[in-house]
């Protein structure tokens, strides 16, 4: 049975100026919810843009646990915020400690949704990861974003602790490769190619990953929120299609005519296939096949290049 759609709810979405949280918040507004979107809002133009989308801007700082503007009477908190600070102290303060403080602040909500990442898994070649698989530093070989995997793992632990400590029902979703008409890893690769930059691929290919389109982020969310509990369950959050970088860059070239050079190197994210069977077992079915999602991405963001 499908869960009730999210409408008429008071929802806080953190990281609302980000490429994933922004579209999600706008979709929740369109569905008839009162949506509060958080960011530091150091740039007034960002606040204006959020307000123009019908979202109520709320200034918080997870790194310093400044949460005084968080409104009371919320139904749900959707924690999509992430700090990519290279300093471990700051990254852990924002991503882990800040998440725990936010759970405490959210006492009384129906559910606290924490967005984690499939970058928490120890690389395992071409074997799709289950939620019970060993964790590891997936991003270490990249040479940048050194805090990402570790702080995401720490954040999961912090949310589990805070959920139990403050009796807040929560759910943790490990997001794989999110994308949509205006954002995502494929779009970045296309932009890089237009500037003569190659896309790195691991020598132990095919470099397989799983996508999740904006539309499917929205439709899967109620299924995950319905699972919120104390302690929080964990779900892989992606579509079941296994797609390699080699295949998806070829599809981008077919759609645009732009050749996307690939550079083989170990200094990149290794293959990271994911098994979302646990999520699919809730009754949710994704609606966007990856090639159709890519077509829509190119039509929207690169109309001058689109070749049909």
- Residue-range domains of the chain with CATH: 82-181+210-241+274-286 (3.40.50.720)
| Residue showing tokens 């979107």 | 37
Which residues does 32 contact at the CB level (< 8 Å), separation at least 6?
A: 7, 8
Mean pLDDT by 10 residues, the chain (308 residues): 90 96 97 98 93 98 97 98 95 98 98 98 96 93 85 98 98 98 93 94 96 98 98 98 97 96 94 98 98 96 91
Q: Is 257 exposed, middle or buried (0-12, 13-18, 19+ CB in 10 A)?
A: exposed
State the pLDDT at residue 61: 97
pTM score, two decimals? Answer: 0.97
Token code pair at residue 80 = 């999509």
Neighbours of 5 (CB within 10 A): 14
Q: Omega of the bond prior to 208 within 30 degrees of 0, cis?
A: no
Residue 44, number of CB atoms within 10 A of its CB: 8
70: left (phi over 0), alpha (psi -120 to 50) or beta: beta
Closest CA to 203 of 122, 119, 123, 260: 123
């Amino acid at each position: 049975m499908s869960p009730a759609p999210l409408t008429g709810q008071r929802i806080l979405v953190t990281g609302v100026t980000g490429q994933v949280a922004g579209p999600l918040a706008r979709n929740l507004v369109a569905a008839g919810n009162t949506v509060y979107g958080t960011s530091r809002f150091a740039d007034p133009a960002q606040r204006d843009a959020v307000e123009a989308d019908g979202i109520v801007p709320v200034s918080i700082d997870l790194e310093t646990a400044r949460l005084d503007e968080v409104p009371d009477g919320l139904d749900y908190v959707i924690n999509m915020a992430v700090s990519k600070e290279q300093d471990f102290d700051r990254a852990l303060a924002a991503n882990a400690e800040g998440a725990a403080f936010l759970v405490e602040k959210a006492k009384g909500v129906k559910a606290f949704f924490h967005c984690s990442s499939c970058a928490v898994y120890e690389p395992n070649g071409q074997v799709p990861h289950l939620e019970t698989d060993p964790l590891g530093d997936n991003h270490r070989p990249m040479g940048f974003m050194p805090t990402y995997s570790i702080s995401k793992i720490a954040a999961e632990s912090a949310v589990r602790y805070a959920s139990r400590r403050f009796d807040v029902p929560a759910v943790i979703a490990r997001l794989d490769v999110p994308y949509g008409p205006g954002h995502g890893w494929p779009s970045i690769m296309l932009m890089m190619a237009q500037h003569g930059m190659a896309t790195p691929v691991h020598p132990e290919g095919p470099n397989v990953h799983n996508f999740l389109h904006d539309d499917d982020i929205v439709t899967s969310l109620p299924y995950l929120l319905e699972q919120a509990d104390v302690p929080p369950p964990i779900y892989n959050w992606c579509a079941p299609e296994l797609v390699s970088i080699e295949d998806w860059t070829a599809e981008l070239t077919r759609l645009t005519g732009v050749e996307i050079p690939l550079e083989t190197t170990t200094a990149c994210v290794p293959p990271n296939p994911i098994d979302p069977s646990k999520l699919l077992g809730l009754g949710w079915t994704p609606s966007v096949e990856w090639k159709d999602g890519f077509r829509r991405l190119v039509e929207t963001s690169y109309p001058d290049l689109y070749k049909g």
